[in-house]
Amino acid sequence: MANTNTSKSDKSSVLQPSLPAELYLDPVVYQNELRKIWYRQWIYAGRTDQLPSPGDYMLHTIGNQSIIVTRNEKGRIGAFHNTCRHRGSALCQAQQGQFKQGQIICPYHRWSYSLTGDLLNTPFLDLADANRNFSLYPVQCQSWKGNIYLNLDTSRSVELGETADPGFTVLNNWPLEQLKLGHSHQFELACNWKIFWENYLECYHCPGIHPELCKLVPLYKAALSTDRLDPDTELADAVGSGIESWTTTGKAISSPFPGLSEAECSAGHTFMELYPNQYIVAHSDYIRQVSITPLATDRTRITAEWLFSEEAMAGADFDPTPAIAFSKQVLAEDAMVNEINQQGITALPHRQGYLTPQEGDLAGFHLMYMKWMDIPV
Amino acid sequence: MANTNTSKSDKSSVLQPSLPAELYLDPVVYQNELRKIWYRQWIYAGRTDQLPSPGDYMLHTIGNQSIIVTRNEKGRIGAFHNTCRHRGSALCQAQQGQFKQGQIICPYHRWSYSLTGDLLNTPFLDLADANRNFSLYPVQCQSWKGNIYLNLDTSRSVELGETADPGFTVLNNWPLEQLKLGHSHQFELACNWKIFWENYLECYHCPGIHPELCKLVPLYKAALSTDRLDPDTELADAVGSGIESWTTTGKAISSPFPGLSEAECSAGHTFMELYPNQYIVAHSDYIRQVSITPLATDRTRITAEWLFSEEAMAGADFDPTPAIAFSKQVLAEDAMVNEINQQGITALPHRQGYLTPQEGDLAGFHLMYMKWMDIPV
Amino acid sequence: MANTNTSKSDKSSVLQPSLPAELYLDPVVYQNELRKIWYRQWIYAGRTDQLPSPGDYMLHTIGNQSIIVTRNEKGRIGAFHNTCRHRGSALCQAQQGQFKQGQIICPYHRWSYSLTGDLLNTPFLDLADANRNFSLYPVQCQSWKGNIYLNLDTSRSVELGETADPGFTVLNNWPLEQLKLGHSHQFELACNWKIFWENYLECYHCPGIHPELCKLVPLYKAALSTDRLDPDTELADAVGSGIESWTTTGKAISSPFPGLSEAECSAGHTFMELYPNQYIVAHSDYIRQVSITPLATDRTRITAEWLFSEEAMAGADFDPTPAIAFSKQVLAEDAMVNEINQQGITALPHRQGYLTPQEGDLAGFHLMYMKWMDIPV
Ligand code: FES
Ligand code: FES
Ligand code: FES
């Protein structure tokens, strides 16, 4: 959160209260979060190259909403609720597939729709004079650099990228659009989705939890996630000397992406968050993006994806294992502490935790959350 | 629903709204349905010949209510809540069994009751002067043609057969009372109980979902469940020429029941619904009855029974497989679409579906439902 | 319940109503019980000799609260919520273990606490000037005769032993403090916790359910749990002639504890209840204590412990099997009727059960319960 700052004097004395514990535990709050956040913000659904041809589709779930994402004859990707306008049957069951001959056919009574969601045909019935629209329920769908994003809020109150921190432009020099999905890894955590973000947003836990990561980034060994959080630190927000990328060896798995600046290369990592659902970590040789799906107050699904350049992947000796294994290890280390964090906050006398100066970025996340939820600060 | 009709002009233009989606999804609505419908209407519990002798009993469950159905010394079948009047212990655990010596004995403190539910004996205690009635909680119980029905509403506000459509008399010529249970099949569906009824009440889905059934009944191939729904149809509500019954071969599995009229024989099927819990399909050679038990907003148990004449079953070459296999196939085809219908109606923008003229019978079912639930139309 | 009595005239005529059935079925009532009873009363957590050395700890769960019980350097046993004061992580995962070097270290960011719960160290942070207390959340902890008890209510509104019936003094002559845990047995019951207590508090069920126990105690064969409940009984509240203890053989498994009076020896059993969580049955040769943990409206965990003298256990021919097997059999017999009692009370017409004079002790338990719950009688 670029707009959060702390002065040196704060550091030694005052801790700020964190969010009230009930916001992580109450099923009513969770339902409100779906309604006020997850059904209003942009949600990552996959890569455009997962749908190479017109009629290709995949399903994506947000909360309890099942969405069809499909590419139409003009090559444009769009999205609809997975619900027939007749009596409401789900249209698709398979997680991915192909609509033949440009028709989405309901399996129940065989009403059919075009790839843009218009009602095409109603067997045994002439709806020509019906003055009502029976198109599929639309879902907002946009793509950015090959990433597909959905938004269930058709009032278009939030623009894609509005919640990006520090903004889409920070990744301008990365060829994300051309990268290919090399590996993905999905798992569930027994914690609230906000606990996952909080853990991501601070490195106060890094010295104790991520020994290997700390070897790559001296700033993290000093318990800081960004040099902004301590005005006195002389440590840069960058990998240490001799380190090329976030891998088990510290060496890059391929040559750097051509368009990067020298600073971007030597930093070793560039972060972008797209609240509430995704963060992207761009290295000089690969990009890792992680998306977050809430399942219940105390249940969250994490999907991590590793993207590489086509040229690198085509190389005879290409081995992404050092990159994949490294970040899987970090994710597993965080998983453990995320789950015990959820366990501990159920204590009756625990109103809320406290944020140290090193955790200043959490305060910004909390402010955004309170605003989304219409909770006065 | 005999009283529902649609004119030709409706057919080509106007669709009627179906029930609001929340009525299939909201657990509070489900609890109201138990209270206002399932605990007030008559519910099929089994066949009288499952209890041949006095003292024989079986348990039946309606919602979360466990009921003992038993035959008393006078041969009459009655029913009681499976609850002792002392401290409320369940009286029976086994799904069926025999009360020895005309006594229902509570396993906890051994209070005993007669087969008519009167308190007989309280060990270590003289209740002779107690001015309070400790009889078992009664449940209304009536039988019709060998079928046992229960009603938890002791105020007797609904008579057995009151919700039968078109009425008990339609089966007058079938010897249902003498038939024997040849096969039964129970399974659970991941859908609301009303979705099962709606599917049963229309054949708009038949051409796409039931190809074999459509071969037997030309009307169904035309997407009509009864000729009443389309004034212009020349198709009869009957099996096609050369078809004798609903079997995999189209041939009857035995000679027709003796009392049937020629029309009843040649129709090939006669339906009776006993809302909300059962429908009966009478063929010339067998009867199939299906009962519906709600388990949750999105969970329903279906019990199908096939009944045959004792004479036919005694035949050396009797083989009911063509009848049983045929209707199991139809039930399985409907199961699939019932479950995807439930899935699809959860979409946030989906207020309700629409009924085509071919689905006119659903409107009658919905009206009855709204009245039961005291929901203004 | 020593203060409950019934006159002869009651016995033959009037039954008192028991508690309303909804108090055993309603999840809201269950949450209120946690808050008003289980989080305010003293709860048994184990034996002091399970924590022999400073730094030894065990976890104990009350409702959804996880508590650390540990022995400090001064040898005193104390308890804390298993929650870090920083961001609320659980401190311990293992059910028992050892805090090294007198430090409870949070696994998340490594804040550390002393064995008395004081904050010791916060890495990368100087909290010297923080004018706020970051000690672990305290839980009241006391021991009595080697039994550790916890109380989540820090307002100390209830004293340990206040709910003991007939009081701690009844066990004055037993060397409970010196006894050793010889065996323990834990199991879950599909019933409300109050149903377990009610079963414990009456022997009206004994003749039918506990034939072996009735052979040991003639009073129980007469369906009385104490001679107080029937003014006319000539039966003593004691084991029968020739019976030494509650064992499968009726013989004691070791010589009697030295300090017992002759009456205590010959009675064969002395009971003490510590509501709402424990009862203790002291025999001349062993003590059995049973504790009760509510898990849901219809789910209860039972933990039974058998304690013997160290001398007896050291004997070459010591065999506790007759004692353990006997009471496990009684517990299993009660388990069956407790579970069917829970099943039966769900019947819609069942408002409540009735108490016979033999069940007079339940009325006292119910009065105490109503007072705890602030329900007007
Ligand atoms: S529900 Fe889709 S066509 Fe009927
Ligand atoms: S509960 Fe049935 S006799 Fe006591
Ligand atoms: S949560 Fe315990 S040290 Fe941070």
Q: What are phi and psi of C299, to 5 degrees?
A: -150, 130
SS3 A299: strand
pLDDT digits (tens, 9 = 90+) for A162-199: 999 999 999 999 999 999 999 999 999 999 999 999 99
SS3 C245: coil
Smallest CA–CA distance, residue A37 to chain C, in Å, is: 23
Q: C370: number of CA atoms within 13 Å, CB side?
A: 12
CA distance A288 to A283: 8
Q: What are phi and psi of C186, to 5 degrees?
A: -120, 140
Amino acid B146 reads G
Would you kindly state where each structural domain of chain B is located, as residue ranges? 8-40+169-372, 43-151
SS3 A16: strand
Q: From residue C356, how far is each of A3, C23, C74, C224 by CA, in Å?
A: 72, 20, 52, 11
Amino acid A310 reads E
Q: In whole angstroms, what separates CA B223 from the centre of its chain?
A: 24
For A11-46, b where at least 16 C-beta lie within 10 A, e where not — what string? beebbbebbbbebbbeeebbebbbebbbbbbbbbbb
Q: In whole angstroms, what separates CA B335 from the centre of its chain?
A: 16
pLDDT digits (tens, 9 = 90+) for C66-97: 999 999 999 999 999 999 999 999 999 999 99
Put simply, whether B209 touches A (Cβ < 8 Å) is yes
Q: CB–CB of C119/C87 below 8 Å?
A: no
CB atoms under 10 Å from CB of C271, counted, come to: 17
Put simply, whether B232 touches A (Cβ < 8 Å) is no
Cis bond upstream, residue A218 (ω within 30): no
Residue of C87, C105, C120 best suited for mutating to test ligand 3, as the one with most atoms within 8 Å of CB: C87
For residue C107, give the nearest of A202, A341, A298 by alpha carbon. Answer: A341
For residue A191, give the nearest of A24, A346, A70 by alpha carbon. Answer: A24
Chain A residues whose beta carbon lies within 8 Å of the beta carbon of residue B343? 66, 82, 89-90
Written as tens digits, the pLDDT of chain B (377 aa) is: 444 444 444 444 579 999 999 999 999 999 999 999 999 999 999 999 999 999 999 999 999 999 999 999 999 999 999 999 999 999 999 999 999 999 999 999 999 999 999 999 999 999 877 768 899 999 999 999 999 999 999 998 899 999 999 999 999 999 999 999 999 999 999 999 999 999 999 999 999 999 999 999 999 999 999 999 998 999 999 999 999 999 999 999 999 999 999 999 999 999 999 999 999 999 999 999 999 999 999 999 999 999 999 999 999 999 999 999 999 999 999 999 999 999 999 999 999 999 999 999 999 999 999 999 999 98
For residue B185, give the nearest of B44, B312, B306, B339 by alpha carbon. Answer: B306
CA distance B27 to B296: 8
Residue list, ligand 3 pocket, CB within 6 Å: C 84, 86-89, 106, 108-111
C152: nearest CA in chain A? A348
Rg (CA), chain B: 23
CB atoms under 10 Å from CB of B208, counted, come to: 18
CB atoms under 10 Å from CB of C139, counted, come to: 27
Q: From residue A138, how far is each of A116, B348, C25 by CA, in Å?
A: 9, 11, 44
Task: State the angle between helix axes of A193-200 and A360-372 in degrees (0 to 180), rounded to the nearest 10.
Answer: 150
pTM of the full predicted structure? 0.94
CA distance C277 to C290: 8
Q: From residue C155, how far is each of A8, A84, A267, A346 by CA, in Å?
A: 39, 59, 55, 20
Atom of ligand 3 nearest to the CA of A204: 4
Q: Is A111 in the pocket of ligand 1 (CB under 6 A)?
A: yes
CA distance B94 to B310: 28
CATH number, span B8-40+169-372: 3.90.380.10
For residue A274, give the nearest of A139, A170, A138 by alpha carbon. Answer: A170
Angle at B58 between CA B57 and CA B63, to 5 degrees: 140
β-strands C352-355, C270-274 pairing: unpaired
ipTM of the complex: 0.93
Amino acid A216 reads L
SS3 C291: strand
Q: Which fold has domain C43-151?
A: Rieske Iron-sulfur Protein (2.102.10)
CA distance A219 to A207: 10
For residue B225, give the nearest of B206, B239, B244 by alpha carbon. Answer: B206
Nearest CA to ligand 1 atom 1: A87
Cis bond upstream, residue A357 (ω within 30): no
Nearest CA to ligand 3 atom 1: C87
Tokens of B72: 């008393």
Tokens of C227: 């001679």
Atom of ligand 2 nearest to the CA of B84: 2
CB atoms under 10 Å from CB of C194, counted, come to: 22
